[in-house]
Amino acid sequence: MKPPKPSHPPAGPTELREQAEAIYQANKAAKKPVQAGTAALDAARIIHELEVHQIELEMQAEELRRTQAAAEVMRLRYFKLYDLAPNGYCTLSPKGQILECNLTFAHQVRTDRATLLKQVFSHCVLKEDRDRYYALVNALAQTGDPQAADFRLIGPPEAPCWIHVSALTELTDDGSIVYHLALSDITELKQSEAQLRTREQRYRSLTESAHEAIISVNTEGIIVDWNSGAAGMFGYSAAKAMGQPLTLLMPQRYQEAHRAGMARANAGDAPGVTRGDMIMVGRRWNGLEFPVLMSLSSWTVPEGKYHTAIIRDMSAWKAAEQAQIETLQLLRHFMDQFPGLAYIKDANSRVLYANERFASRLGFAVASLEGKTNRDLFPADQAAKFDENDQAALSSKETITFEETFQDRLWATSKFTIKLADGRVLLGGFSTDITTRKQTEIELKQREAVFRAIFDHAPIGISLTGNAGTLMVNAEHTRITGIPAEEASQPGIFARVSDPEDYARQQAAAKIFHAGAVDHYTVQKRYLHRDGRVQWAELTSRAFQDPTTGTRRIVTTLSDLTARKQAEALQMASEVRYRQIFDCNPVPVLLYDTETPQILEANKAAEQQYGFTREELIAKKFTDLHLAEDVGAVKREMRQATSTGKSSREWKHTRKDYTIIQVNVVTSALSYAGRSAQIALVLDITERKLFEGKSLQLQRLENLGMLAAGIAHDLNNVLAPILFAPQMLRASHPSERDLKILSNLEQSANRGVSLVKQILGFARTTGGEMQIVQVRHLAMDLMEIVENTFPKNIVIEHSIPSDLWTVRGNPTQLHQVLLNLCVNARDAMPAGGTLRLSLANLMIDGPAVAGSPNGATTPWLELKVTDTGTGIPPEVLEHIWEPFYTTKAIDKGTGLGLSTVRGIMGTHHGTIEVFTEPGHGSTFRLLLPAESEKAPNVEIPPPALVPNGQGESILLAEDETMIRDLIAGTLLEHNYLVTTCRNGQEALELFSATPASYSLLITDINMPKFSGLKLMSEVARIRPELLIISMSGQSADDDDRTDVAEAKRLSRRFIPKPFAAEALLSIVHELLHPVAKS
C-alpha cells in the first residue's frame, strides 16, 4: 500500500526557500566533491522552485476568484445599470425568447443587441452544452428558486466563451413570468483550472516516470511504496518488493548501520525535514552492487511516521544527463502552458527562454529572443524600469510581485530567482494581464456614484429598511413624510406622523406581507406634517435579499397623491351641481359602476323607456339590460371605455315587458362618490334601425355589382404572394411531403383566382367561362375537404359512380354549389348526424324537366345532398332563396349561400328543388344537362426552365410590400439587379436621376398619390424606348376600364394579378432578350 499523505499543511514559500539555502551553504562549507549527479540535482531544485511558484499562482488564482465574487455581488446590487456592467444580463420569456439584454451579453455572443431581441436564447448556447441550459430552465420553471450553471456560448470556434449563469424568476406587473439571467465570463477561470489539472497530472506522472527510485518505508523499515524507477533500478517488481525490509536493497555490511540510522530517524528529526544527499551502495536482485545517491525525508500522519528515499543510480552518469535535459524540456513546456507571459533571464537580464505569448506580444519568434536584453526589446525609459525591477528580484530571497505597464496594458508580474549548483543565479518571471480587473474596479466605483445620484434625485420617495430599522431615505421621501434623513432611523418615527386610521390599515397589510403571504403590499395614507399640512401618498413595500449579507431588506416607495386627492374632492362637488341636469335630461341616462357594473342612478327618461322604476333599475346591473349573447362583448366594450374614457356603440336591450329595443349607447368615464363610474346616454333607435335595414337591403343589391370589381382587385393582390410562394419554395423543400403541401397551397390559390374571376363575371352579369366538366372529380375533391374539416360527430357518406356523364359548366361555380349545400347541411346538424352526397346519370322525359324538348328523352346528371338535421320549418322554407335571408347568427352567415346556388344553377340551365321535414332533415336535388362529350384530359406540363438574366437593371414600383418583396426576390435569384420603390413618385425621382441605367420598368398601375399610369407617362416622355411591364389586380379583360386600357397602351406587356413567377420571368426575358425572327 502507498503511505498516507501528510496531514500537516505544507511549509510556506519563505520557509522552504530558507531550508534550501541552508542545505546549499552546509554542502559548500563541507567542501564535498561535486558528484556526477550535481546537474540533475540542480534541475530538481529548479523543479522545486517551479512548485513553489505554482503555489503562488494558485494563491493568485484564489485572489482572482475572490475578486470575481466581489464583482458579482456589486453587479447584483446595481443590476438596473447593467448596460455598463462587465457581466452579461438578459431577460427571457418562459419560452426562452430574449426580451431584453445588455451590451455585454451581445459582445459575449458576438452579435448586436437588436438582432438578439426575440431570438431564442438556446441558439446562443454551444450545441454540446444546450442540455445544461435546458436543465437550468426546467429547474427554474419547476421550483421557482434561483439556479446556476456553467456552459459555453457560441463564439469563435477556437475559443468559445465559458459563462457562469445565475438565474431567477420574476412575476411582472401584468402577471406574467420572466427569467433574469446574469452571465459571468469564466473563460479564463476554466482555462486556469484546466491548466492546473494538467500541471498536477504532469507532476504525478513525473514522479511515476522518474528514473530515480522513490521508495517509502514505515518505522520498521518495511517497504510500503515502490515506483517504476525502483523496479528498473533494483530489478524487483512492486509485488515482490512491497512488504519486504529495506535491507533487501543493500549489502550485508551496511545493514547494521542502516538499522541504527532508522532508529535515529524514528526518534529524532522533526517531521517533514529533508536530510542531505548521502552516497551509499545499493544491491540489485542479482547481488550486483552499485553506487547510489540517496536523499531522505520524513513525515508523520495519524497512522504513523514514514520515510521516503529518492535514490539515483550514480553509475549511469549519461542517464542522469539525459534526465537533466528532459527536466529542462519539462520546464519549458510548463512555461509554454502558462496563460500569461513567462520567461527566464540570466543575472544580466538577458533572455534565456520565453514562452510563445511573450514572444508574440513583442513581435518576435521565440528562438530570436535568446540573448536579448531589456534595452533590445523595450523603449529606453521602459527598459530602465524593467532593469530596476529585475535587479530588485535578483537581490531578494523571496518572490516579489509588482504591477508593470506594457503595451497599454497593466500586468501583475511575479519575479523569483533560480539558484543552480554551479553558482549561477537565474531570474524567472510570470506576468498576468490585470487590465480588465482594474477597469472593473473603477467601473464599480462609478456605478456606485451613479446609483447614489439616481436614488437622491428620484421623483418618488424611497426608503431602505433592514433589521436595525430604516437605513437610508432620499430627499423626496423627506418632502412627503416631513421626516429628515437623520431622524428616519428613530424607532416609531413614521407611526407618529401618520394618520392613525391609515396607519392601522398599513399595519394590517404589513402583517400579511411579513408572514410571507404576499410579495408586496400597497396602501394609501396621510402624513401629518409639523406645520399642519396633510400629505397624501401611495406607499408600496417589497422585500429582497441583500446579496452581500444575505439578510432581508425592504424597499418602500412613496408616490405623492395630494394633488389627485384634491382634484377628486373638487370633482365630487361638481357632481352635486350637475345632479339636476341629470334628472331633467329628456334622453335616458344611466350611471353605473365601472367594476361591478351595478347601476347607481337612473333618470326619469330611463324609467319611461324601460318600464322599470328607479328602484328596480338600481337593483340591476347594466349588463342585465343586454341580451345574454351580448354580455361578453359588452364587458369588453366596458374595459375599452375605461382605458379610452368614452365609447359609442349600438346594442339590443330588453324592456320590463320583455320586448327588445335597439339602442345607441354613448358612455363617458367619470368619478362618482370616490369610485370609477360610467355615465351612459341610451337612445331608442328601434324605428330608425327598421328603416335603415330596409334601405340597406336595397343598397346591398344595388351596390354589390359595383363592389365586385374592387373586391376582386384586392383579392388578386392578396392571392399574388400566395401564388408566388410555392414556386419559390419548391427548390428549397424537395421532400414529397413539402411538395404536396406546396401543391395544395398552389391549387387553393388558383381556386381563389377562379373565384375572383367569378366575382368579376358577376359584376359584368356574365356567367364565366364554360367548359366540359367531369363533376365526379369536383365531388371527390369536396369529400376530402369535408372529411378533414367537418366535426367528427357528422358521418360522411357518398355515392359517386366512376362512369358519370360530363356537363358543360364552370367548374369553380359547380364546386361552390356543392360546398354551399354541404356547409348548410353541416350547420343543420349541430348535435351530429349523417351527411350524404350522391351523384347519378338519369334519362328523363322532356316535360319532366323545364327547358327540355317535349317528347324527348334527354340525359341529365343528378346531384343530391342529404342531411339528417333539423329540417326547414314551413315559415322559413318560403324565404330560403332570398338574398341575405338567414336564420343564423350575424357572425355565422350572410344569407347569400342558397341564392348563389340558385343563380349558378340558372346559368347552367339546371334545376334545384328541396325536400324537407322538420326534425328529420332535408334533401337538395339538382339536375344538370349532361353532355356526350368527354372531359378533356389535363396533362400537367413539366416545369418550364426559367431563364436567368444577365445582370440587367430593373426598376420595380409596387405599393404592396409583400408583392414587392416577392417580385424583387424572384428577380434577384435569377440574376437581375432590382431597385424597389414604394410609389410612383419615388420611382420617378430615381429614374430621372439616371434614366440610362435601367433596362426595364415594372410598375403597378394603381398606387396612392402618384399612380403607375402617371409614372409610365413621365418615363416615356424622358426615355421613350424604355421597356415597360404594367400589372394590376384588375382583370386583363377589363378593357372597358380606362386605367386598364391606358396601361396596355403605355406598356409593352400587361400582367393581371395574381401571376406565377415563371410567367413574369418569361415575359421579362422575352422583352430583354427578343428572339430574332428568321
Tens of pLDDT along 575-608?
667 766 777 888 899 999 988 999 999 999 999 9
Task: Match 511558484 to its residue by C-alpha cell.
Answer: 53
Per-residue pLDDT for 1078 more than 60? no
Angstrom distance (rounded) from CA 922 to CA 796: 15
Nearest to 330, CA basis, from 353, 357, 360: 353
Are the CB atoms for 538 and 558 separated by under 8 Å?
A: yes
Q: Which residue has the higher pLDDT, 279 or 285?
A: 285
Q: Tell me how far apart the 2 most distant CA atoms of the chain are, in Å.
A: 147
Tell me the one-letter amino acid at 1077: K
CATH topology of domain 460-560: Beta-Lactamase (3.30.450)
Handedness of CA 187, 190, 194, 199 (dihedral sign): positive
3-class SS of residue 503: helix
Per-residue pLDDT for 915 more than 90? yes
* pTM (two decimals): 0.30
Angstrom distance (rounded) from CA 1037 to CA 928: 29
Give the residues across from 193 on adjacent strands: none
pLDDT of residue 11: 47
Nearby residues of 422 by Cβ (< 8 Å), 6 or more positions away: 38, 42
pLDDT of residue 934: 56
Lowest-pLDDT choice from 216-230, 642-656, 744-758, 821-835: 744-758
The class of domain 322-438 in CATH terms is: alpha beta
For residue 1054, give the C-alpha cell: 400587361
Are the CB atoms for 237 and 231 separated by under 8 Å?
A: yes
Average pLDDT, the chain: 82
Nearby residues of 948 by Cβ (< 8 Å), 6 or more positions away: 974, 975
CATH topology of domain 588-684: Beta-Lactamase (3.30.450)
Lowest-pLDDT choice from 32-41, 262-271, 961-970, 1022-1031: 32-41
Work out the pLDDT band at 996, boundaries 50, 70, 90.
very high
Tens digits of per-residue pLDDT, 449-462? 888 888 888 889 99
pLDDT of residue 1004: 93
Q: Which residue has the higher pLDDT, 654 or 421?
A: 654
pLDDT of residue 625: 93
Work out the pLDDT band at 709, boundaries 50, 70, 90.
low
Work out the pLDDT band at 762, boundaries 50, 70, 90.
very low
pLDDT of residue 3: 41
Tens digits of per-residue pLDDT, 672-684? 877 888 989 999 9
Work out the average pLDDT over 328-354: 84
For residue 987, give the C-alpha cell: 420611382
Work out the average pLDDT over 191-195: 84
Work out the average pLDDT over 158-181: 88
Burial class (CB in 10 A: 0-12, 13-18, 19+), 881: middle
Work out the pLDDT band at 295, boundaries 50, 70, 90.
confident
Per-residue pLDDT for 880 more than 60? yes
**Residue 459 has what DSSP assignment?**
S
Tell me the one-letter amino acid at 481: T
Q: What are the φ and ψ backbone dihedral angles of 637, each rounded to 5 degrees? A: -65, -35
Tens digits of per-residue pLDDT, 772-804? 999 999 999 888 888 888 999 999 999 999 999
CATH architecture, domain defined by 708-931: 2-Layer Sandwich (3.30)
Per-residue pLDDT for 329 more than 80? no
Number of residues that this document lists for the chain = 1078
For residue 36, give the C-alpha cell: 556526477
* CATH 3.30.565.10 boundaries in the chain: 708-931
Angstrom distance (rounded) from CA 481 to CA 717: 64
* CATH 3.30.450.20 boundaries in the chain: 78-194, 322-438, 460-560, 588-684
Angstrom distance (rounded) from CA 999 to CA 997: 7
Per-residue pLDDT for 270 more than 50? no
Per-residue pLDDT for 534 more than 60? yes
Are the CB atoms for 214 and 207 separated by under 8 Å?
A: yes
Task: Match 511516521 to its residue by C-alpha cell.
Answer: 305
H-state helical runs in 524-659: 562-577, 579-584, 604-610, 614-618, 631-644
Angstrom distance (rounded) from CA 449 to CA 446: 5
Angstrom distance (rounded) from CA 144 to CA 164: 19
**Residue 35 has what DSSP assignment?**
P
For residue 1032, give the C-alpha cell: 394590376
Q: How far is CA 951 from the centre of its chain?
A: 39
Cis peptide before 6 (omega within 30 of 0): no
Tens digits of per-residue pLDDT, 58-88? 777 777 888 787 767 766 665 556 677 788 8
3-class SS of residue 805: coil
Angstrom distance (rounded) from CA 970 to CA 967: 5
Give the residues across from 1024 on adjacent strands: none
Rg (CA), the chain: 47
Per-residue pLDDT for 845 more than 80? no
Per-residue pLDDT for 1039 more than 60? no
Tell me the one-letter amino acid at 540: T
Long-range contacts of 234-238 (CB under 8 A, 24+ apart): 234/282, 234/283, 234/284, 234/285, 235/284, 235/285, 235/286, 236/285
The class of domain 953-1072 in CATH terms is: alpha beta
Instruction: Give Cα separations from 949 to 289, 727, 975, 981 (angstroms).
Output: 93, 18, 5, 21
Angstrom distance (rounded) from CA 717 to CA 756: 11
Nearby residues of 932 by Cβ (< 8 Å), 6 or more positions away: 805, 859
Sheet holding 223-226, edge to edge: 223-226, 213-218, 304-313, 289-301, 278-283
Long-range contacts of 27-30 (CB under 8 A, 24+ apart): 27/276
Please report, to the nearest 10 degrees, the dihedral formed by the alpha carbons of residues 32, 35, 40, 44 taken in order: -20
Work out the average pLDDT over 715-720: 70
Half-sphere exposure for 487 (CA within 13 Å, toward CB): 12
Work out the pLDDT band at 1038, boundaries 50, 70, 90.
low
Per-residue pLDDT for 857 more than 70? yes
Angstrom distance (rounded) from CA 541 to CA 532: 26
Give the residues across from 500 on adjacent strands: none
For residue 1060, give the C-alpha cell: 406565377
Please report, to the nearest 10 degrees, the dihedral formed by the alpha carbons of residues 669, 670, 672, 674 taken in order: 100
Are the CB atoms for 828 and 869 separated by under 8 Å?
A: yes
Angstrom distance (rounded) from CA 361 to CA 351: 15
Instruction: Give Cα separations from 958 to 587, 720, 952, 995, 1044 (angstroms).
Output: 52, 12, 19, 19, 16
Per-residue pLDDT for 685 more than 70? yes
Are the CB atoms for 206 and 284 separated by under 8 Å?
A: no
* CATH 3.40.50.2300 boundaries in the chain: 953-1072
Work out the pLDDT band at 855, boundaries 50, 70, 90.
very low
Per-residue pLDDT for 904 more than 70? yes
3-class SS of residue 628: helix
pLDDT of residue 204: 63
The CATH number of the structural domain formed by 78-194 is 3.30.450.20
